């Protein structure tokens, strides 16, 4: 038979297990790890135009979302208010304008969104963002007006 002091220690260890691993959190039955319910899609965008890479995640507690481009964390307006990239409440990444130059192509690349809560993380599929060159856009418009090409 267990002594009363032993029972208190066992109950303390069991009830304290989750908060020790995840400070400030308490495991509840209804909590769930994040999962991506809307993955981003590949985009071809004109320089200077706005664009959105969609991402939506579910989980309990609601997961936080971060974006990575070519393996590096993307800075958004949350990090720098002057940024041309905004993290929307839905988790999507909105570009006020696509930045693209001869030497610097800071927006072109492969993106993933990562959703996290204290139960884990979920990573979206890769989505590429490419900047359309002017000749591509010109040919697309001409061919489209001739009825030979549609978007």
Give per-residue pLDDT as tens, 10-29.
Answer: 333 333 344 444 555 566 78
The CA distances from residue 105 to 35, 109, 134, in Å, are: 31, 8, 15
Query: Is the model's pLDDT at 9 over the cut of 50?
Result: no
Task: Report the alpha-carbon angle 45-50-51, nearest 5.
Answer: 60
From the CB of residue 141, how many other CB atoms can be counted at a distance below 10 Å?
A: 12
pLDDT at 27: 64
From the CB of residue 132, how many other CB atoms can be counted at a distance below 10 Å?
A: 16
pLDDT at 151: 46
pLDDT in tens, 78-118: 999 999 999 999 999 999 999 998 888 899 999 999 999 99
pLDDT at 20: 41
Least confident interval from 47-51, 77-81, 143-147: 143-147
Q: How far apart are CA 93 and CA 78, in angstroms?
A: 12
The mean pLDDT of 36-58, rounded to a whole number, is: 97
Q: How far apart are CA 135 and CA 137, in angstroms?
A: 5
Reported as a pLDDT band with limits 50, 70 and 90, residue 149 is very low
The mean pLDDT of 63-77, rounded to a whole number, is: 97
Query: Is the model's pLDDT at 39 over the cut of 70?
Result: yes
């Amino acid at each position: 038979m267990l002594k009363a002091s032993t029972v208190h220690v066992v109950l303390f260890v069991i009830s304290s297990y989750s908060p020790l691993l995840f400070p400030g959190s308490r495991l509840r039955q209804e909590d769930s790890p994040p999962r991506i319910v809307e993955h981003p899609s590949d985009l071809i965008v004109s320089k200077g135009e706005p664009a959105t890479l969609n991402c939506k995640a579910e989980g309990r507690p609601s997961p936080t979302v971060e974006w990575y481009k070519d393996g590096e964390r993307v800075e958004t307006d949350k990090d720098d208010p002057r940024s041309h990239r905004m993290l929307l409440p839905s988790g999507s990444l909105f570009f006020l304008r696509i930045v693209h130059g001869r030497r610097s192509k800071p927006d072109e690349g492969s993106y993933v969104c990562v959703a996290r809560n204290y139960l884990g993380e979920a990573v979206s599929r890769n989505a590429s963002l490419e900047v359309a060159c002017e000749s591509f856009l010109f040919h697309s418009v001409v061919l489209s007006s001739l009825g030979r090409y549609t978007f």
